[in-house]
Structure 1
């Protein structure tokens, strides 16, 4: 039984499950809180136990999507095992404790962020909270700049074209579908790469009491990419079209100024401005790439808005100009 294995790992025969924090996507398992009386500590256990009958809220329960999810949990285990302890305080993640792997299940044991002081979750973020996450992203991208990402996805982000042929096929005919490969290639051909979180939505960040510090969670789709892929996806997860237009310059300046400092701190030989120049030019392509996914996956999704349309039009115009 799982509980007996966990008692051995944590070295406490009285370890007990406190609560289920949340069920995983499509009922692939759960995230649960456990308490160890002997250590007087709480732990978070991510338990992947694949169901026999797989369901998906939007019907995308294909063999390809199933294998992608299985791979994603292995990737996350690799991240916590090989990368998490490398992260500096400016882009902190949960401290890994242990992991278990078998044919039937995968278990990741990590520190409980609630009891480490990161107990706030945000649904409707203000500018202070948004900038706290932007600082985390910029430092994460700066620290892992030019990293080979061994054991992680060769191409980060859960929506990237290579893993979404079903959604591409489902797209309505048009310029975006026609240019899907060109947009993907533009991002892949970037000279400057880093490790991207790959699912950097607001819900995947835990905040400190004063909201000045954050911790990123859920690293199933971490891999190689350009930082603005995370930035665009994050901003789209917490701002509507009006606020995206209103705060566009301010938030991009916040990200790139922080990235510049991070690159200088962690990689003194890197010409930070060259990285910034390239990634600024790819920001619109990051939006267009995610829009391509949404058009096939859920064409009426609430995240599709005028700002996304504008950025996509900018990317398509650049492609047309280059022909």
Structure 2
């Protein structure tokens, strides 16, 4: 086993073994506040001058809590699969992976990634600017376009969400989603406006027909495409997308709507979302996506808005939480429920034939 269990195991010998160079010293410091993993910055001093490897890396390890590690093992597999099999075939900007390794049971993992400093993480609670949103939606096309309706990705082993056409899985997630909505309202109902509670319950009751609505149009999805999973260069000319533990295959508009619905204040979102969808659509067409007009893209975007309360409900009901985590989830839920009402997403779902 060569996977570091904790930061104390990220030694000069370990780093040198995976890079194939002599390392005399490492300085390991924590970065980020991930709840399902632990990330560190590793500054390396080499025994001899190196021209082809950097002096600083980001190392992502399993969560230090054993119960969390076992619960999110599928997410670890998903992220390793992304960096080892998918990333090089996409055009979405991600950190370079220098080494990935995972145990047979999926509970121990290490990702040695490029350090993107001085890029800074987006602020999920505060929301992003229109300029940052434009970067994010154009970058997203670099994931969806190269994988558009390509059946080879159906064979991935670590897909988190139900695949298109898997009706049994869609029904199963529908049942879990309704349960999650009840848990969230029971636990945090005092923080949720009555109209948002109503929208949450209605949306989670629509998950099964929602998943079945457009099975023939699909692409690889990030699954949790929001500000906390983005790093912006200081001049806001580039975004890098991280945290690939929720890779899925499904209607691409779900990623797009999830981003705008969680990462923009509602007034800003409603003012610029048409422009953002048009930018995304133009960027998508650069990857030779055919027979996909702007109005269909807009309809998919409206449909995709259920991704917001779905992930918020599942995350709040079944994952460990913190005070900041609850505040973040409540902000995302409020934004997403308002988006669903304004875009008449539930009415759109009901216009499809019953499954």
TM-score by length of 1: 0.78
Distance 1:290 1:161 in 2: 19
Q: Is the 8 A contact 2:225 2:258 kept in 1?
A: yes
Distance 1:5 1:163 in 2: 41
Distance 2:61 2:314 in 1: 30
Q: CA deviation at 1:320?
A: 4.7
Q: Is the 8 A contact 1:99 1:108 kept in 2?
A: yes
Match of 1:34 in 2: 42
From 13, 16, 20, the equivalent of 1:7 is: 16
Give the SS at the match of 2:302: helix
User: Are 2:145 and 1:142 equivalent residues in the alignment?
Assistant: yes
Distance 2:251 2:291 in 1: 14
From 173, 184, 203, the equivalent of 1:176 is: 203
1:203-259 CA distances to partner (integer Å, 9 max, x unpaired)? 211223431221111111112122211111111222122222222222222211222
- The correspondence of residues 1-323 of structure 1 with structure 2, limited to 5 A, is 1-3=9-11, 4-10=13-19, 11-25=21-35, 28-38=36-46, 39=50, 41-49=55-63, 51-54=65-68, 67=71, 69-88=72-91, 91-102=92-103, 105-114=108-117, 119-123=119-123, 124-147=127-150, 148-149=152-153, 150-151=155-156, 153-154=158-159, 156=161, 165-172=175-182, 175-187=202-214, 189=215, 191-260=216-285, 262-264=286-288, 270-274=289-293, 276-294=294-312, 298=316, 301-303=330-332, 304-305=334-335, 307-310=338-341, 313-320=344-351, 322=353
Q: Is the 8 A contact 1:44 1:111 kept in 2?
A: yes
Q: Is the 8 A contact 1:87 1:93 kept in 2?
A: no
Q: CA deviation at 1:177?
A: 4.2
In 2 relative to 1, CA 213–234 (structure 1 residues): closer, same or farther, beyond 3 Å? Answer: same
In 2 relative to 1, CA 43–175 (structure 1 residues): closer, same or farther, beyond 3 Å? Answer: closer
Distance 2:116 2:297 in 1: 32
Q: Is the 8 A contact 2:41 2:57 kept in 1?
A: yes
Give the SS at the match of 2:284: helix
Q: Is the 8 A contact 1:141 1:196 kept in 2?
A: yes
The unaligned stretches of length 5 or more in structure 1 are 55-64, 265-269
Q: Is the 8 A contact 1:72 1:220 kept in 2?
A: yes
The unaligned stretches of length 5 or more in structure 2 are 1-8, 163-169, 183-197, 318-328
**Aligned positions, number:** 294
Give the SS at the match of 1:30: strand
Q: Is the 8 A contact 2:177 2:205 kept in 1?
A: no
Q: CA deviation at 1:285?
A: 2.2
Q: CA deviation at 1:194?
A: 1.0
Distance 1:48 1:170 in 2: 25
1:39-90 CA distances to partner (integer Å, 9 max, x unpaired)? 4511111111552354xxxxxxxxxx954x11111110111111222333xx
Give the SS at the match of 1:263: coil
TM-score by length of 2: 0.72
Q: Is the 8 A contact 2:303 2:349 kept in 1?
A: no
Distance 1:292 1:273 in 2: 26
In 2 relative to 1, CA 119–175 (structure 1 residues): closer, same or farther, beyond 3 Å? Answer: closer
Distance 1:138 1:144 in 2: 10
